[in-house]
């Protein structure tokens, strides 16, 4: 079983700014979301015996994972394969600016991979697929992963065998947990967090 979490809201999220491999701190709301997710996971898994908590190396995922780890009494492991998609020269740019400058690309299908100097879709799929393939088989698999909007979509898409279009159409909430088990994905929402 995998529980998949997106990091809490960051300053860049609040500004509608592309993050990619850049980082910005969690907002008050983001910290409240991380704590709420920790409480939700504690209710979902009960005793954390045998569970692993894995996070992307980016600060926003690490900070969220630490909040979850505090709630569960688990240490945080780091795995670069679940890092966010790099948007190359679009990292740090405002979404509205990119939409105005690149209306033919930004916001259209596959725009995440159109950024100059960014990661290709095959690269992202390969590293996420490698991470999934390295996990123990179900039912021995007991992992919580704190990832990102883009790479989290790819985790769910690969697990379900979705097309690229279906993968990138998925929601990426920062106040929910996805359970990947038995070939299905189930969403659990947190109580509302106030920051």
What pLDDT is attached to residue 138? 86
How is the beta sheet containing 176-181 ordered, strand by strand? 76-78, 52-55, 143-147, 2-6, 176-181, 184-189
What pLDDT is attached to residue 111? 80
If you average pLDDT over residues 27-40, what whole number do you get?
97
| Mean of per-residue pLDDT scores for the chain | 94
- The residue behind tokens 């020269």 is 89
Among 15, 77, 84, 97, the one annotated catalytic? 84
Query: Quick one: pLDDT band at residue 192, thresholds 50, 70, 90?
Result: confident
Residue 195 scores a pLDDT above 70: no
Q: How far apart are CA 74 and CA 153, in angstroms?
A: 25
In three-state secondary structure terms, 24 is coil
pLDDT tens-digit map of 69-127? 999 999 999 999 999 999 999 999 999 999 899 888 877 667 888 889 999 999 999 99
| 84 belongs to the catalytic site | yes
| 148 belongs to the catalytic site | no
What pLDDT is attached to residue 104? 84
> What is the pTM for the complete model shown?
0.94
Under DSSP, the state recorded for 98 is H
Decide: 17 and 49 in contact? Cβ < 8 Å.
no
Under DSSP, the state recorded for 94 is B
Q: How far apart are CA 66 and CA 70, in angstroms?
A: 6
Share of the chain above pLDDT 70, in %: 97
Q: How far apart are CA 15 and CA 44, in angstroms?
A: 32
Q: Is residue 139 reached through a cis peptide bond, with omega within 30 degrees of 0 on the bond before it? A: yes
What pLDDT is attached to residue 191? 81
């Amino acid at each position: 079983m995998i529980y998949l979490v997106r990091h809490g809201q960051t300053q860049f999220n609040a500004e509608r700014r592309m993050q990619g491999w850049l980082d910005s701190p969690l907002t008050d709301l983001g910290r409240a979301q991380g704590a709420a997710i920790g409480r939700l996971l504690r209710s979902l898994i009960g005793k954390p015996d045998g569970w692993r908590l894995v996070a992307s190396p980016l600060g926003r995922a690490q900070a969220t994972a630490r909040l979850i780890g505090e709630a569960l009494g688990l240490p945080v492991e780091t795995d670069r394969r679940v890092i966010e998609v790099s948007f190359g020269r679009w990292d740090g740019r405002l979404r509205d600016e990119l939409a105005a400058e690149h209306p033919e690309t930004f916001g259209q299908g596959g725009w995440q991979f159109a950024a100059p100097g960014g990661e290709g879709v095959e690269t992202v799929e390969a590293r996420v697929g490698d991470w999934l393939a390295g996990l123990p088989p179900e039912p021995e698999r007991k992992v919580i992963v704190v990832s990102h909007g883009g790479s989290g979509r790819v985790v769910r898409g690969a697990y379900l065998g979705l097309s690229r279009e279906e993968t990138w159409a998925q929601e990426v909430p920062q106040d929910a947990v996805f359970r990947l088990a038995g070939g299905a994905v189930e969403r659990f929402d947190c109580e509302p967090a106030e920051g």
